[in-house]
Amino acid sequence: MKAFVFTGQGAQFSGMGKDLYETNPIAKEYFEKANEILGFRITDIMFNGSDEELRQTKVTQPAVFLHSVISAIAQGEEFQPAMVAGHSLGEFSALTAAGALTFEDGLKLVYTRALAMQKACEMQQSTMAAILGLDDEVVENICNEISDSGEIVLAANYNCPGQVVISGSVEGVNIACEKLKEAGAKRALPLSVSGAFHSPFMQPAKEELEAAINATEFKAPRCPVYQNVDGKPYTSQAEIKANLIAQLTAPVRWTKTIQQMIADGASEFIECGPGNVQQGLIKKIKAAAGM
């Protein structure tokens, strides 16, 4: 069974989507439609922008969404998913590619999400770090201890066994990095992000996004969508909406998502979007399961 997975923020690069735009008339049409919807030429930034321009949340999220969804659309008849999933932002791409959202509505929601998250990041300084080489439970326990003492820090992305991203206040993340290294982490890498995604710091953005999601029509997707909040498959519009709203302040349970897709019969994973980050994570998830 073919499973299509959609990448999240962080995989962007200058030049992304340019080949699609230049070689595929359908892709070009969708990129131009996106420029109209957004009211600025995002394609100029995607194709020729600096890394700094592309790193802005309000640019990154719609850019990665566009590359991912248009990559799927451009496959034509080849895009026949038995199931889909997306990492964080990628969940919107997955829902759009699977027909739960129209292209226009998906893009508008992603742009609303990006602007709301950027605003939340500016309200309070916060950050994230990748922790390599520790069990999830060890990371959770140390984060809980620090949070109990007054600084906010928590596990935000369960990417694969031995790779967890933590999110929280700058001080909380710094303390956690030191303590996690003492506990045996191979590495604790601060991430170049504008704030603490998938944490309570995103609450103001969540309220804005909730209003936008509730005002948007969702259809039943053409196949099950495995959602970040619990890694389970959904087809009900009401449940999909609720999970999408919860996702902004809840951890991304990617390991659990991929494990569940494999248990449900996924035999081939096809990545849509810039880069091949997800293929690397999926390989590690399979290896940890002895596959």
Question: Which of the residues are catalytic?
Answer: 88, 198
Q: Are 218 and 237 in contact (CB under 8 A)?
A: yes
The β-bridge partners of 154 are 167
> CA-to-CA distance for 252 and 10, rounded, in angstroms?
15
Residue 57 backbone dihedrals phi, psi, to 5 degrees: -50, -40
Q: Are 224 and 233 in contact (CB under 8 A)?
A: yes
Q: Are 227 and 247 in contact (CB under 8 A)?
A: yes
DSSP element (H, E) containing 84: strand 83-86
Q: Are 106 and 136 in contact (CB under 8 A)?
A: no
Burial per residue of 45-75, b for 16 or more beta-carbon CB atoms within 10 angstroms, e otherwise: bbbebeeeebbebbbbbbbbbbbbbbbbbbe
Q: Are 73 and 101 in contact (CB under 8 A)?
A: no
Q: Are 161 and 285 in contact (CB under 8 A)?
A: yes
The β-bridge partners of 233 are 226
Residue 276 CB partners (closer than 8 Å, separation 6+):
none
Taking alpha carbons only, the member of 149, 255, 131, 202 closest to residue 140 is 131
